[in-house]
Amino acid sequence: MVVLDAVFNSMASSNGTALGGIKLAGSHSLGSFRPGAVRPERIGTLKKFVGYLQANGLVGKDADLGSIDVQRSIQKYAYIAEGMGARLGYDFDFLESGAFSTEMSLDLYRLDLAMGGADPFEKDARASEAFLRLVGGREKLWLRVATFVVKTIDTIRDVDKFVKYMERESSAYDKQTIRSAFEHIHSLANAGGHVK
């Protein structure tokens, strides 16, 4: 972990951007927080969230949390969960594959440093149930598109406009998956479910 911290800290400049002007996740709203810093309580919350995902069959109990594929899924679940009211404490940037948090990626390697933390859906069983219904059994591609839906839920309310938006973002997504994610999430939001 010290090596990873050193790499990310050496990439960061005083204004919180990485070499080449790429904004590091988490650097724009946490004041004096430096990328790569260990935050045991936030890691504790992440550990509880991973346990929640495992307990509900979204991530295998024996899954290798160091696997890029598993981490990508956890990040997508986390972004969608935050859009539905979970409090994990991470900032996300967007890549072609959807929501991504540098800090969460680092923290997934240091779950052994967890101290305390909160249950992500604390005091909101309805949001937890809605989240599980929404993401349960979904393919990775669907989850990736769903992060874009959550990101744009307040700005793009028309499915055809969203399809065009996604076509500009990436050619990796088929229209059926794009429409499915959009319609399921907007249906939940229109039914009074909290989404972002």
pLDDT at 15: 35
Q: How far apart are CA 166 and CA 147, in angstroms?
A: 11
Please check whether residue 90 lies inside any domain of the structure. Answer: yes
pLDDT at 72 exceeding the cut of 90: yes
Please check whether residue 155 lies inside any domain of the structure. Answer: yes
Please check whether residue 22 lies inside any domain of the structure. Answer: no
Higher pLDDT, 38 or 85: 85
Q: What percent of the chain has pLDDT over 70?
A: 78
Higher pLDDT, 177 or 124: 177
Please check whether residue 31 lies inside any domain of the structure. Answer: no
pLDDT at 117 exceeding the cut of 70: yes
DSSP character string of 82-132:
HHTT-------EEETTEEE-HHHHHHHT-GGG------TTTT-HHHHHHHH
Domain that holds residue 93: 38-190
Please check whether residue 14 lies inside any domain of the structure. Answer: no
7-30 confidence digits (pLDDT tens): 233 333 333 333 223 333 333 333
Residues 166-182: what's their mean pLDDT?
91
SS3 55: helix
pLDDT at 58: 97
Q: How far apart are CA 8 and CA 1, in angstroms?
A: 11
Entry pTM: 0.79
Please check whether residue 166 lies inside any domain of the structure. Answer: yes
Please check whether residue 126 lies inside any domain of the structure. Answer: yes
CB 155 within 8 A of CB 182: no
Query: What total number of domains does the chain contain?
Result: 1
Span of 41-50, 69-78, 134-143, 169-178 with lowest mean pLDDT: 169-178
Average pLDDT, the chain: 81
128-153 confidence digits (pLDDT tens): 999 999 999 999 999 999 999 999 99
